[in-house]
């Protein structure tokens, strides 16, 4: 059985992420979507909330499992029996960093390969940070966020934005 792992912060999961998940799920016997801890990021959603959102938007994919980890990706893959890390690429600028990480992961776990899937053209510009930024303005997030979670994402973005405005007024 070929097991692939699609890691990310998914804060929140976007239609671009979902596109990569659906495509990878059609290639591998099992795909584990793993919410990873990124020390450089302050997430808007808790790890449990992100896992829950991913489960909801991938419920139609029988071979997709959702998990979370704060360990090294290469070690996580070894523990889960993963043979491939799936990474989505939006632009050439993504490749340099992702290629470096692929080499490090392979060095730590020589049985681990990395497969790069390029984003569909509709999602080449899309990231979770773009969604969080757009959500602070009165625009629809329908083109960017799966329908199952759009109300939750919009409400959280507005709540965080309002809190930041209030904090700014207090200084």
* Helices and strands in the chain: count of H runs, count of E runs: 6, 5
Catalytic residues: 17, 41, 90, 128
Q: How far apart are CA 131 and CA 12, in angstroms?
A: 8
Token code pair at residue 126: 């899309």
**Structural tokens at position 171:** 């200084």
Instruction: Check: CB of residue 74 under 8 Å from CB of residue 109.
Output: yes
d(CA 116, CA 34): 16
CA atoms within 13 A on the CB side of 86: 26
Report the 10 Å Cβ neighbour count for 107: 10
d(CA 137, CA 127): 16
């Amino acid at each position: 059985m070929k097991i692939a792992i699609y890691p990310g912060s998914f804060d929140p999961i976007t239609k671009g992420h979902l596109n990569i998940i659906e495509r990878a799920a059609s290639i591998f016997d099992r795909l584990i979507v793993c919410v990873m801890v990124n020390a450089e990021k302050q997430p808007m959603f808790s790890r449990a909330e992100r896992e829950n959102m991913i489960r909801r938007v991938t419920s139609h994919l029988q071979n997709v499992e959702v998990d979370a980890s704060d360990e090294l990706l290469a070690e996580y893959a070894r523990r889960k029996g993963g043979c491939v890390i799936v990474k989505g690429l939006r632009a050439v600028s993504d490749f340099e960093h992702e290629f470096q990480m692929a080499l490090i992961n392979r060095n730590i776990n020589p049985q681990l390969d990395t497969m790069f899937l390029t984003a569909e053209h509709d999602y080449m510009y899309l990231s979770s940070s773009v969604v969080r930024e757009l959500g602070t303005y009165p625009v629809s997030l329908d083109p960017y966020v799966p329908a199952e979670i759009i109300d939750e994402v919009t409400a959280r973005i507005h709540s965080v934005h309002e809190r930041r405005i209030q904090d700014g007024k207090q200084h």
